[in-house]
Amino acid sequence: MPWLDWLSLFVRWFHVIAGVAWIGASFYFIWLDNNLRTPPKWKQDKGIKGDLWAIHGGGFYEVAKYAYGPEKMPETLHWFKWEAYTTWLSGFALLIIVYYFGASAYLIDPSVNAMTPTLAISLGLGLIFGGLALYELACRSPLAKYPLVFGICLVALICAVSYLSTQWFSGRGAYIHVGALIGTIMAGNVFFNIMPNQRKMVAAVADKQDIDPSWGAGAKLRSLHNNYFTLPLLFIMISNHYPMTYQHPQNYLVLIAIMVVAAWIRHFFNLRHVGTTKPSILVSGVIAMMAIALWVSWPQTVPVHTEAAAPSSKTTQVANKTDDATSIDENSAAQGSTSVTNERVANLIATHCVSCHSRTPTDDIFKVAPLGVVLDSWQDIERFAPQLVRRTTVTKDMPFLNKTNMTEEERQEIAQWFAQRQ
């Protein structure tokens, strides 16, 4: 449906813009807080705890942080919340548009776990909001008083979700659900803790009441969690462009390893902001990323999932797998000589698409099926039929650069076949 593509485009575009604003503000305030310096005596007498001077865009800026708060609450106080809220709302909308409306193509992989779209969506929502509930319970429990133990438990939660999602969903769908959980936790930190505590602080200052230190400490802890989540989440956001990660046989280990290394590299910059530079962290992080890349790219034999009746020859695999589908389509084929049979479509796919879109691609460029779309069997073709028809007959951007020289007549045959099925 073209309208769905346009909706996906605009929502994705907005999601990226909102995400840049949120992460940019987060990184800036982490840097700002870590670079405040002890102010002169006259500023301290006014209650200023730290200050910072900067130059940007042709002007000088003076930033001050109060130990308690200003003597009088300003009429205009800037809050930083909608960056987080709009990022989450647009991201969740994108999850629904791409992975829930298109569950049969992008969320469900029958070779991993055959299930109905309703069950798959239910499991996805359970992972996201169930994981959020566990995180919130842990943060509000005595466990939060022991940072090391809490951190280990949090890593264990993310690892468990990574494993479960890859056992339930397609590789691409699994990765995006881990990202959705992390993004939901981050937005939840803003909504459930940071903003309520900031409102309490503002009310206390306005009423000249004491500020409970736990308000600021709790908000700062959640901000720290968000800080370490940022780089892993950014990787997941772009991972759908790199199928060699989510299509790897141990894709959950690939995801966990990259997230851990990304958080480790973020730790280097956090330390650097407070004046501690440890190049060993950055160097070890880069070496670890190179090791992951070598492991993921190492040549391996990937078994081809075939149906029991499939012949041994790979070149005729798709075409000869259509016996069942052809028998289903006998009535359509008998309606007239102009009908396009399933066998004909399977032959077209085998000729023009399977060199790239296979579990074992033979293309000279694509060594992993782009976007995880595999068309080795008739079941695969049925699964991706709407996307296949749209890309070959509407946008006509597939085959890629028309490397296999699909003709206009062949594109029309595919379009006619799809119309017959409606």
So what's the pLDDT on residue 238? 92
How is residue 99 annotated by DSSP? I
So what's the pLDDT on residue 33? 86
Q: What is the pLDDT of residues 172-212, one digit of tens each?
A: 999 999 999 999 999 999 999 999 998 998 898 888 888 88
Average pLDDT over residues 245-251: 89
So what's the pLDDT on residue 29? 87
Q: Name which of 48, 221, 254, 244 is nearest 146 in CA terms.
A: 221
| Least confident interval from 63-77, 175-189, 345-359 | 63-77
What mean pLDDT value characterizes the chain? 86
Query: Looking at this protein, which amino acid is placed at residue 12?
Result: R
262-275 burial: b if 16+ Cβ within 10 Å, else e: bbbbbbbbbebeee
Radius of gyration of the chain (CA): 27
Q: What is the pLDDT of residues 388-422, one digit of tens each?
A: 888 898 878 788 768 889 999 999 999 999 998 87
So what's the pLDDT on residue 317? 52
